[in-house]
A = this chain, B = another copy of it.
């Protein structure tokens, strides 16, 4: 009967708490978006395209940290909802471009308001000063760890 070696608790890891809070925030946001018939990934793509020129899927994939296959399917879903349009590129016969439809453009501000409210609902749990500290710490980590996603522009 060999005793089990000691193993550190999950709660000792900062990553554990980070994931717990992040998951709660994201999940709550997903629930709000669901009322509008949109998922978080769909919102993310729509926001990326808002007030931008038609953009090829490959650029969006890079910017969003998804594979091209994922963007293809995401785009298919949004096209099915008439929020997005796909058109062949004029310059390059292989390429496509994605752009929001008028309905898509119109929806983005609504969704953005939901995003604002969701963020507020959670981070109002902290004081203004605490929020600023949290923001600084997270941005410091992103910077020092080079956790960047290529920007669209």
Contact = CB atoms under 8 A, between A and B. Distances in A.
A109 B105 CA distance: 51
Interface residues of A, number: 52
Interface in A1-49: 4-5, 7-8, 10, 12-15, 17-26, 29, 44, 47
A82 interface: no
A130 B144 CA distance: 13
Contacts of A130: 137, 140
A95 interface: no
A103 interface: no
Interface stretch (A53-61, A71-79, A86-94, A114-122): A114-122
A115 B14 CA distance: 11
Nearest to A136: B130
A70 interface: no
Contact of A26 (B19, B44, B137, B138): B19
